[in-house]
């Protein structure tokens, strides 16, 4: 084995050992008003908190496409994007069943859209993101600026730290 191959193999092994030795994320809680996000392990122990930037419209929960608000409620990670335009990103299951119910009763979405959103959430899949309720809400890396269009932004280094430790279906609670 050549010296270069040995070095590369050693780096790969060290990286795998480091990754396997790290604790998986069990839950993420975002406090919009507090401006922070706390990551918990699967036993409920807080691992680390991060400063966040949220939607520029500020107070209140997302209600429709383009309102530039960050949703509030209980969601889960339904998609992981390693090639995001915001470095790395974790897609959230907005709209959830409560959002769909509100949207349907207020006439924002059709019965068919309501059904697709509910079914996607039950199956832990990506809900329809192209409805009047909006969608494509992510926890992602740096967006540049002091607000997002409705997502939760942390630094690139921070998203690099948590991205490999977050599994699909990880609960995400977004508080006012």
**DSSP for 81-107, written as a single string:** EEEETTEEEEEE--S-HHHHHHHHHTT
pTM of the model: 0.86
- Picking from 130, 116, 135, 147, the residue whose alpha carbon sits closest to that of residue 52 is 147
Considering the domain boundaries, does residue 19 fall inside one?
no
**CB of 169 closer than 8 Å to CB of 76:** yes
- For the chain, the residue count is 176
Considering the domain boundaries, does residue 171 fall inside one?
yes
Q: Per-residue pLDDT tens for 103-127?
A: 999 999 999 999 999 999 999 999 9
Considering the domain boundaries, does residue 11 fall inside one?
no
Range of the domain at 81: 24-175
For the domain that residue 56 is a member of, what is the CATH number?
2.40.440.10
Over 70: is that where the pLDDT of 3 sits?
no
Considering the domain boundaries, does residue 122 fall inside one?
yes
Considering the domain boundaries, does residue 33 fall inside one?
yes
Look at residue 10 in the predicted model and tell me its pLDDT: 47
Query: Phi/psi class of residue 30: alpha, beta or left (left: φ > 0; alpha: ψ in -120 to 50)?
Result: beta
The whole-angstrom separation of Cα 148 and Cα 58 is 10
Beta strands 138-140; 152-153: pairing state: parallel
Considering the domain boundaries, does residue 147 fall inside one?
yes
Considering the domain boundaries, does residue 7 fall inside one?
no
Considering the domain boundaries, does residue 133 fall inside one?
yes
End-to-end CA distance of the chain: 57
Look at residue 6 in the predicted model and tell me its pLDDT: 52
Look at residue 153 in the predicted model and tell me its pLDDT: 97
Rg (CA), the chain: 18
- What number of H helices and E strands is found in the chain? 4, 8
């Amino acid at each position: 084995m050549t010296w270069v191959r040995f070095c590369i193999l050693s780096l790969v092994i060290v990286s795998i050992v480091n990754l396997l030795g790290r604790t998986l994320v069990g839950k993420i809680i975002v406090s919009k008003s507090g401006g922070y996000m706390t990551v918990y392990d699967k036993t409920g122990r807080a691992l680390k908190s991060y400063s966040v930037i949220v939607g520029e419209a500020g107070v209140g929960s997302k209600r429709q496409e383009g309102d530039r608000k960050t949703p509030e409620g209980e969601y889960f990670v339904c998609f992981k994007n390693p090639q995001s335009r915001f470095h790395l990103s974790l897609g959230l299951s907005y709209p959830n069943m409560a959002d769909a119910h509100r949207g349907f009763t207020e006439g924002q979405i059709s019965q068919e859209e309501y059904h697709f959103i509910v079914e996607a959430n039950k199956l832990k899949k990506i809900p329809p993101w192209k409805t009047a309720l909006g969608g494509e809400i992510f926890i992602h890396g740096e967006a540049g600026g002091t607000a997002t269009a409705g997502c939760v932004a942390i630094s690139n280094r921070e998203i690099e730290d948590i991205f490999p430790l977050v599994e699909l279906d990880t609960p995400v609670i977004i508080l006012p």
